[in-house]
Each structure stands twice: as C-alpha cells, then as structure tokens.
Structure 1
Amino acid sequence: MDRCHKWIRLTLGLLAVLSDPGFGSSIIEGPRNLTVLVGSMARFNCTVSEGWGVLIWLFDGNPRLTLVSDGKFYASPRYSQQNYTNGNLFTSELMITDVQQNDTGQIKCSIQNEEDNMYAYLFVQVNGSLTIKDSNFTIRENQTIKVVCEALGWVPAPYIFWMENNISLNNSMYITNQSPGSNGLYNEESILTLTPMASVNVTCLAAITTLSRPQNATVTVTVYQPAQNEPGNKQDGRVRTIILAVVLSVVGLLLVIFIILLIICCKRRREPNYQKEMNRNLAQNKTTNRNLETMSHDGNENYGYNPEETMYDTVQMRGNATVRPRFYGPNQDANVTPVSEVHYDRQHDEALPSRTTAYPVHPRKTRNVTLV
C-alpha cells in the first residue's frame, strides 16, 4: 500500500515538473561504466545545470529513482541518492546497495530531454569458492605429485596461478581448464605438477578485477627421505641399475656368440657343398676316362708286342735262319721253344697244328701264337 502511495506521489510530482516553465536544463556530465563485486555498493553520478525540474534514474529502461527539484525523491528498494550543489550545477549520486548478479545492465540518467539522456553500464562480478581437493600431501623425496585446485561459481572466469613458498611458479608447470556452470557462472580446474626436494607450502590463487587481493587456498607438501629397506629408495634404484647393466651385458655377449656360431655354420654348410661338387666332378672325369679306355681297348691287345720283332722273326724262320735271341728282364719268364722243334710246310707255308711256339710276352699279358 505504501508503495502505491509513493508511485502516486511520484506521478503527481512528474506532472508538476513538466508543467514548470523552468523545464529546459541539460546534463553536464553523465554516469560512467562501473564494475563491482557482488554484495557491494554501486555508485553513479549525474551532473545537470540549474533549471531542472525532475531527474530520473532508470535501470534497463525502467525507472528506479525519481528526484524532484525540491529535494524529494521516490526510489525502489536498494536504490537511494544523495545530492551536491556547486554553483549553478547540481549533482545527484545514485547508490545501489547489496548489488546482485542480476543487477548487471544499463544505468541511465534522464531529465526528460531526449537529447540529454546519458547512460553507463554496471558489471557485477562474482567470486566463487576456491579449494584444493586433497589436503594430505606426504611424499618421498623426488616423488612427482599433482595438486588440483578447483574454482567454482565465478563471474567472470578467474585468472588462476600458483605459488611455492610465496614465489610464483612458471605457468608451464600447471594446466587450467574452464567449463560453464549454472546461472551464467564459470568453473575452473587447475592442475599443478610438482617434484619437491623438501617440504613446501603450495598456494593456489584466483583473481578477478574487483578483488583487492586474489582469493587463495594453501596446502603443505611434506617430503621425507625413504628408509634403506623401503621400496623405491635410492639404494634399490642403484641395485636395479646394476642388475640391468649386467643383464644387458650378458644379452649382448650371447648375441655376439650366436652371430659367430651362425657364421661358422654357414661356412661349414658351404664347404660340404663345395666338396660334393668337387667329388662329383672327379667322378665324372673318371667315368669319362674309363669309357675312353674301354673304347680304345677290347682286351686282345698285347702291350709287349713289337711288330718289327715279329716281322724279323718270321723272316728268319722262313729262311731257316737262326732265331735272334731275346733278352728279358730278371723277372720275365722266357718260355721259348727251340727253333729246331719248329716244322714248316714249305709248300703251303702253314704252321702245323700240332706244334706250338711260345714267344716272349709283356709281363702283364701273355699271347699265344701258332706258327707253321
């Protein structure tokens, strides 16, 4: 009911001002863009020359506060004003308390003169939550860990960075991913990869322009040296390195031996093939020689036979001449029939079948000749 009365008085005031002959002042300086943090107060100034009758503040085209030249004003909840006078200039300061995210929009100052409407924009930022997911970090020396920082419900998306013992870390050590949330808010997740040599304090910070100091979350990373018998310590690492070196050496030696044996086997395999080929060639040569010998000798040859000696002996026998003695070696068998025992048939010059004369022959073969 009170609100209805205020709007009625505001309307009557506007009608009175519009009927005022002094209506015709101008805006000297209008409001300026402003960015505030949610929950804080927003302030805008509008300066006009004297002679104004009514000054109206509008949000996205809707009246939020009406000020009459007599000092009275009518305003919506959370909207108020205070004014200042400097000579013939009048300044109205609009104040919006407990600014919310939906207060982002256009703020206009108007004195009912279309040419003198001045406006600005209000931007409301929201600082959400910032947490480190795991708060227990107890690791071995030289162990690599990942620290995850989560920022939820921010407007705009915050700028996240990391510090170690109050010293900023290089941005190559962490990765930040952004995702949209509900109601126009933004979520971010930043992952820091760290390999500390000693215990350190790690801080995740999120910054937006309206925050005087970045919001932060800190966690302590405790580093301890492993015991001698604990798996993964330096001694075990050295032992594993030595074992690996020995295994690689043995494998390399076995590989060399295998290669040598393979080369030897290949050589041995080639040598029998070569020997077989030589034996095959020799066998073929022997077969060829044997065939040639068989073709040239039919078994009736007397290698001790001398045609000249035979001819000489025949002539001597026909002339009843004494047969020339022959000389034989010590190992030869000189089986010779005396000439006196040889009979001839001078008419037919044929040897009698009953008489047989043995001639000296080659030591290996014996030839029987029948004489007449």
Structure 2
Amino acid sequence: MTDIFIESGRSLVDGEFTETSLRTSGRDIGALDAEQGRATLHVNASGLLVLPGIVDLHGDAFERQMMPRPGVGFPIDVALVDSDRQAIANGITTVFHGTTWSWEPGLRRADNARKLLDTIEAMRPQLAADTRFHLRHETHNLEAEVEITQWLTEGRIDLFAFNDHSNVKPTKRGQLADRAGLSAEAFNQLLDKVVARRPDVPASIARLAAAARAANIRMLSHDDNSPTMRREFRALGAVIAEFPVNEETARDAVAAGDFIVFGAPNVVRGGSHTGWTRASDMIAKGLCSVLASDYYYPAQLLAAFRLAADGILPLARAWDLISAAPARAAGLEDRGVLATGRRADIIIIDDKVPLRPRVVAVIAAGRLVHLTDASRLVHSPAPRKTVATA
C-alpha cells in the first residue's frame, strides 16, 4: 500500500465544498489541506469533486449476476467479482449485499443464502469494496430460525432485516413462480402453506430480534405499512425502516429518530416502480435519511446529482444520504466523511455534464482501485532516506 496525495480538488469537508488537497496514510486519511509529504502516488483532482465513498445498505443487483435469466445460474464467486467491479465503478466503497433467505425455492432458497455467506467471507480480502452481508429474512420462513440465530450469535450477519412477501398480488405470481422454478399451480400451493403459518410468525420474529440485540447487530424492517407496524418493530430494536409505504408511517419513524431508507432508483426514475411512495417527495419533506442502490448500482450516484439539479437538496446534503447517513445507520463510525483519521474511502468525480457524473477514480481503504483517466495520475519517487555520517 502506498500513500496517495490528492491535489486541488473541490472536496466535501464539514458539509461544504472547498478547494483543498488531502493525503492518505495507509488505510486512513492522513491529513486535509495537506502537502505531498511521503506520498508516492499523486492524483491531480483539479476541476473535479472529491467525495467520501458511497455506502450502500441495501443492494440486490448482484442477484442478476447469479441468475441473469430465470433458471440460468452462474457461480457465486464469479457473480461477486462482477458485482464488486460494478459497485466500485459507481463509487460504492462499502456494499451490503441484500441476501434474501425465503420460503421460495430457486434463487432465494436456503442453499444460495448459505453459499453466498460462505463465499463473501472467503472472498472479502480479494474484493475492492468493503463487502458485507445483509440478511433479508422472510418472516414466514420458520424453518430458518435456528440456523439464522446461530449466524447472529456468531456475528456472521452485518445487517438483519425482517421481510414479509407472503402477500403476493395475483399479477406478480407468475413472475415469482418463474424465479422459483415452479409452475403457477405449484407456486400457489406453496403460498397457501406459507400463509397458513402466520399465527406462529410473531413469536419467531421476537426470538430472532432478541438474538440480534444480544449480538449488537443492527436490524431493519421492510415495507412498514402503518405507524403501528413501525412501532412494533422499533420496540424489538429495529430502528431502520426500509421503504415505508406511506407518509404517515415515515412521519412516525422520523418522530422517533429512526433511520428511513428509500431506493435511489426511485429518485432517478421519478417514482417507484411499484407505484408506492415517491422518494424525492419524501426527501423534500425530511422523511428520508438514507438512499440505497436497491436493484441498480449506478442509482445512488445519479440520485445525489438529480436531487441537487431539481433543487430538492444541495449536493452536500444529498451526498449525506448515500455516504455519512448510511454509515451512521450501520454503526460504521470510521467512514462516510472526509476527515483526518477516517477510513480513506474516496471517490473523485467529473461533474461537468449535468446529471451525468463520471467516476474518475476510486480509493478504497487507502488503495487506488479504479481509474478512468490516467493523465490525472503522477507517480512520484519515494522520499530518500537520510544517511547519517560520522
């Protein structure tokens, strides 16, 4: 690892953009408003933005690398490497892979969740982004409770979410049957069995939440549809609300100081693909604290610039939604801002073309892992050692 000197960029420091230089020291930021010092790698950031790396709490776009078409699977290690390249190229330096362990067969079956966790743990040192495991537990998947409790106790889960997709609309059943590799009739029969378990679900949720609290693992609830539902999960320790489906629920979350996550694709596209809450409206009302990539890795970067261009938030505040705030929500106090002693996760952006920011360079934990403009890079000779003479 070599120290890196980033010169003359418009850096986001303490909520404002200021032209300054900074230097890394190992895995961390060594100094702001710095001189080159011992750095042997020099990046000319003149005219560019220098920003803290993006933190993605909820992304499942990697599933498309695992199964690009229904029933067409590829090895998990290949999928993770490709997903890592995509995340880094879009400025994501910390990525939580949202892995659903469902009652469904197919892509979201038990074996895939187990293999994905094992593969992430084995491959972490090889991946450029800090890659973490966000388990999305389908609450009606009661058979998984014992094993998930063990994972929580062992600290193998980085974020733990409660999901319930048992209320499947008739219009979506064909799509889910294809993903599960079942006929429509077989999927409907399976769904009937799953729904019949509903009386046993609350007790299972309570036991799993207790295990997560004991292991100090952050919890999320998904698609909260009422203030009552949000309060129930908050009482269990789940203080991150993912995609609340209405404003009333989001207001209850804000009043209690919960983190609220919406999908960045919703901002970029101008609305939800499901027809639910419009994220940019929620942001304008102060009812969103985190934007996640959801199903599309470029979305966080694009959303921040979209919010600024639309006058909803200045870019510095929009950036907080994809960097500092998700880091706080996940309990990662070492990243999300440019400050001395923080982890050196840094991205350099060319913002000349409106709404089309271009990632020029990415530094992850002090390593230059992505560069699209070699003319910006200068290799400097290492400082000479002084030899004492008698």
- Calculate the TM-score normalised by the size of structure 2: 0.18
- Calculate the TM-score normalised by the size of structure 1: 0.19
Quick check: which one's helix share is greater?
2
Looking at both structures, which has the greater relative contact order when contacts are Cα pairs under 8 Å and sequence separation is at least 6?
A: 2
